[in-house]
Amino acid sequence: MPAMNTNTLPGSTGFQAIDLGIGGMTCASCVGRVERALRKQPGVVEASVNLATETARVTVNGADDAMAARLKRAVRDAGYEPRAVESDADPGAVRWLGVPRHAWPVLLAALLSAPLVVPMVGDLLGKHWMLPALWQFLLATPVQFVLGARFYRGAWHALKARTGNMELLVAIGTTAGWALSTWLWWRAEPGEMVHLYYEGSAVIVTLVLFGKWLEARAKRQTTEAIRALQALRPERARLLPDGVRRTAVVEVPVDELLPGDHIQVLPGERFAADGEVIDGHTQADESMLTGEAMPVAKAPGSVVTGGSLNGEGLVTVKVRASGARSVLAHIIALVQDAQAGKAPVQRLVDRVAAVFVPVVLSIGVVTLLAWLWAGAPLEEAMQHAVAVLVIACPCALGLATPAAIMAGTGVAAKHGILIRDAEALEVAHRVQAVAFDKTGTLTEGRARLLSLQAAPGRDDAVLLAQAAALQSGSAHPLAQAVMNAARERGLAWPQAQGLQSVTGRGVQATVAEQALLLGSLRWMESLGISLGALEPAAHAALARGASVSVLAQAGGPALAVLAFGDEPKAGAADAIAALRERGLQLSLVSGDNRAAAEAMAGRLGLHTHEVLAEVLPADKAAAIRHLQRGEGHPRVVAMVGDGVNDAPALAAADVGLAMGHTDGASADVAMHAAGITLMRGDPRLVGAALDISRRTVRKIRQNLFWAFVYNVAGIPLAALGFLNPVVAGAAMALSSVSVMANALLLKRWRP
């Protein structure tokens, strides 16, 4: 896999985002050093480094072949290792003799340190099991300089860069303990029993290694959402003959598929690409893409998404998109972007981390001098200074925000909520008002024939069949609604002769030797056709917000009034009620006439004053800005739309939530128009998206609070002599692990 991925930024001209993997970072100070090194490179506009994912997102103005080399060289010169961004494989799965490869340094350090700890346990039991000094030296030295070599490498690079990091603090602290012990042993008289501190240095190195190993395990858990999505991508596809070059089914790599190819998908296989079923019937499990657990029926004409699981049917699919253009690729990229991003609150952490290590080193020196000035022996003063250096490592600060963001965006993606960036995640929890588009968002978006009122003495079934005949040559949504209603009643309609469409008015044709018209009320009025006894039915339908058409004889009376309308989505009213219970202000923004918009609002549980009707698509953004201004009190507004014709409003809102579609084009629009994409057309996911945002931000705040409190409380305690270096090392390792564990609690979230 390449060491970096390059993507053109949406809506940019010449700017590209380069993702670069970075090995060897351990704390927030490392993040700052890598960012500074990358930003110094010519052509780099911005660089954002994520400690939890160990990646950098670099925005450059025009990337060339030399840019990749310059960025990797900058990372290496800063003391870190450029590497692959993120592979599908789990590095924790590699084992030696049944033990995870990354656990071996920890295991060896623990085995060598254990004999050094035994005398400490004996002291608690009143026993004196002191090991000879030579044995202590032989056990502690490999731990210090072989298994702990990573700390010296990192410290050396930090010193060359004239900065500080966790490795520098650990290296100085543990080396001081080891050197003090060696000096005391060297100057002791033969046969003299002298207290040494080899066990402290060895145990600190072991604890820090153990903490880093636990931290790495937790990181892999936070990125499992990405690996699970990547695992959905089949490697090969069964390509069908095309009648020209291929005469038999052949297996080809998925990357070789082209739009228009026909592929065969066997029962139990994953669809290799986005496409349309052209033969066969089956069901598809799309749960990993949409969060919907129920299988979805697929028949000829149905859209399928690459990565979803085929059920029990053998189907033939016409490829629409594959590889980087597929919906699955868009989803993976979106989740990666969100996890690689940096939340606004992280900027404060970065500023603190930039001065943290130099300040800690100063405190360590002051602690040493203060204890010596107070008359303490050199070894005691060194112990307290070492404890300060060890406990102050800013690992937890660097992990607090990205760990929570990774866990939150990962679990959200699992349930069909795709969060594009960390800023959208942070803003969503502050939302005070939610504006909904109507058609396709809260309603099904498909016109239905709600009623057909026949004139006295007329058979409504015959009239419905005649109306279907008139509409049989049209693709208009109302025409489809008429034909669907006829099919549902099992009606067969006659052939229409001389069918003509009158633009914006209706259609006319001869059906069963009758000249018939079907069109709008305005058209009928212009033709002088009276509704007669059907007039009350027409007015009643208009009052309900329905669209009305009239079936009439040419030059004769009206035969029937047809009322059309949309239906609320299942769960839409529940979603509105749940958001209202949270105290959010709700609005319906619709281009429909006021009667239709208010009628639908009433069915959804919205009030009349919450309806903004007859709003053109171009004016929806202005409507959102009006809601943001409020009545003298600015509000944080979320806009929920279908992500296509609502794109301006989604962009104008503080956070846009787009109802995604499974076809590639509209999904791409939805993902780029809004900060959050809901992969299912379920309005209840709006509340779920706001909820996971609120919970994730809460975890960020908890992590930052405890990370700061830990250092604010720990450093004085160590400086005053209340913590020995071993306890400080254990506490430092525990702080990082606790931050990761707290973030991982988000994985238990359910919508």
Residues 438, 455: one domain?
Answer: no
Q: Kind and range of the H or E element at 735?
A: helix 725-744
Reduce the DSSP state of residue 15 to 3 states and report it: strand
Distant-in-sequence, close-in-space partners of 705: CB < 8 Å, separation ≥ 6: none
Count of Cβ atoms closer than 10 Å to residue 655 Cβ: 28
Residues 251, 187: one domain?
Answer: no
According to DSSP H, which parts of 243-377 are helical?
Answer: 287-290, 327-340, 346-373
Secondary structure letter of residue 147 according to DSSP = I
How far lies 558's CA from each of 516, 528, 561, in Å? 10, 11, 8
Q: Which pLDDT belongs to residue 598?
A: 85
Residues 106, 199: one domain?
Answer: yes
Residues 29, 165: one domain?
Answer: no
Tell whether the torsion through CA atoms of 621, 695, 292 and 221 is positive or negative.
positive
How far lies 424's CA from each of 54, 389, 409, 418, 430, in Å? 22, 37, 11, 11, 10
Give the CA radius of gyration of the chain.
34
* Angle made by CA atoms 522, 525, 528, in degrees to the nearest 5: 155
633: left (phi over 0), alpha (psi -120 to 50) or beta: beta
Q: Is residue 595 part of a domain?
A: yes
Q: Is residue 131 part of a domain?
A: yes
- The residue out of 565, 590, 622 marking a domain boundary is 565
**Domain containing residue 585: CATH number:** 3.40.50.1000
pLDDT at 543 over 70: yes
Q: Which pLDDT belongs to residue 89?
A: 47
CA distance 41 to 4: 16
> Residue 231 in contact with residue 247, Cβ under 8 Å?
no
pLDDT at 270 over 70: yes
Q: pLDDT tens digit string along 213-248? A: 766 776 666 666 667 777 777 888 888 886 555 567
Q: Is residue 330 part of a domain?
A: no
Q: Kind and range of the H or E element at 379?
A: helix 378-391
Residues 491, 560: one domain?
Answer: yes
CA distance 559 to 552: 5
Least confident of 211-225, 356-370, 689-703: 211-225
CA distance 391 to 715: 7
- Among 521, 528, 524, residue whose Cα is nearest residue 546: 521
Domain count across the chain: 5
Q: pLDDT tens digit string along 569-592? A: 888 999 999 999 999 999 998 876
> Residue 202 in contact with residue 217, Cβ under 8 Å?
no
Residues 369, 472: one domain?
Answer: no
**Domain containing residue 316: CATH number:** 2.70.150.10
As annotated, the active-site residues are 437
- The residue out of 321, 349, 383 marking a domain boundary is 321
Q: Which pLDDT belongs to residue 215?
A: 65
Q: Which pLDDT belongs to residue 164?
A: 64
- Among 410, 381, 258, residue whose Cα is nearest residue 326: 258
Q: Is residue 691 part of a domain?
A: no
Residues 458, 382: one domain?
Answer: no
CB-facing half-sphere around the CA of 583: CA atoms within 13 A: 4
At 207, the amino acid letter reads: L
Is residue 42 classed exposed, middle or buried when 0-12, 13-18 and 19+ CB atoms within 10 A define those classes? exposed
How far lies 377's CA from each of 368, 371, 374, 383, 746, in Å? 10, 8, 9, 10, 49
> Residue 7 in contact with residue 333, Cβ under 8 Å?
yes
To which residue do tokens 């359910």 refer?
750
Residues 344, 210: one domain?
Answer: yes
CA distance 135 to 526: 108
Higher local confidence (pLDDT), 118 or 44: 44
Q: Is residue 598 part of a domain?
A: yes
Q: Which pLDDT belongs to residue 371?
A: 92
Q: Which pLDDT belongs to residue 517?
A: 92
Residues 218, 340: one domain?
Answer: yes
Q: Provide the residue range defining the domain that includes 739.
A: 96-224+336-407+696-748
Q: pLDDT tens digit string along 631-681? A: 767 889 999 987 556 777 887 888 988 886 544 444 455 456 678 888 888
Q: Is residue 230 part of a domain?
A: no
CA distance 709 to 739: 13
To which residue do tokens 């005391």 refer?
184
Q: What is the pTM of this model?
A: 0.69
To which residue do tokens 């396709």 refer?
440
- The residue out of 57, 87, 117 marking a domain boundary is 87
Residues 344, 361: one domain?
Answer: yes
- Among 325, 328, 321, residue whose Cα is nearest residue 258: 321
Token pair in block for residue 246: 């291929």
Q: Is residue 625 part of a domain?
A: yes
**What is the torsion angle, in degrees rounded to the nearest 10, for the CA atoms of residue 71, residue 76, residue 79 and residue 84?**
80
When mean pLDDT is compared over 612-621, 664-673, 688-697, 708-717, the highest value belongs to 688-697
Higher local confidence (pLDDT), 641 or 734: 641
Reduce the DSSP state of residue 678 to 3 states and report it: strand
Q: Kind and range of the H or E element at 451?
A: strand 448-454
According to DSSP H, which parts of 553-655 are helical?
Answer: 572-581, 594-604, 620-629, 647-652
Tell whether the torsion through CA atoms of 570, 645, 660 and 586 is positive or negative.
negative
Residues 549, 621: one domain?
Answer: no
Residues 474, 518: one domain?
Answer: yes
The DSSP bridge pattern shows strands 655-659 and 676-678 to be parallel
Least confident of 25-39, 127-141, 213-227, 387-401: 213-227
Q: Is residue 220 part of a domain?
A: yes
> Residue 169 in contact with residue 694, Cβ under 8 Å?
no
Label residue 442 by pLDDT band (50, 70, 90): confident
Least confident of 73-77, 203-207, 280-284, 335-339: 335-339
> Residue 335 in contact with residue 225, Cβ under 8 Å?
yes
- Among 228, 429, 220, residue whose Cα is nearest residue 335: 228
To which residue do tokens 């005398």 refer?
119
